Amino acid sequence: MSSTSELIWFKSSYSGSQGDDCVEVAVSWQESARVEAVRVRDSKNKQGPQIALSPTAWNGFVSYAPQP
């Protein structure tokens, strides 16, 4: 599992330029190049808590997220 300090975080291109009210996402990879976890954190609190979701749980979340 990747150290959280090694993760590359990104946020949606739909996020405003202000950077507020957003979440950031990073993907943890196993040696086999399979997604191990999708990590989510508050973009305003980069050192704060984060959650790790299985790829299945992330897909379920994204399927219910509203479209722009």
Q: Print the domain residue range for 11.
A: 4-64
35 or 61: which carries more pLDDT confidence? Answer: 61
Q: What is the pLDDT of residues 5-58, one digit of tens each?
A: 578 888 877 776 665 668 888 887 655 566 788 899 988 888 899 999 998 998
What local confidence, expressed as pLDDT, does residue 57 receive? 92
What local confidence, expressed as pLDDT, does residue 2 receive? 47
Domain count, the chain: 1
Long-range pairs for 40-49: beta carbons < 8 A, 24 or more residues apart: 41/9, 43/11, 43/15, 43/19, 44/19, 44/20, 46/9
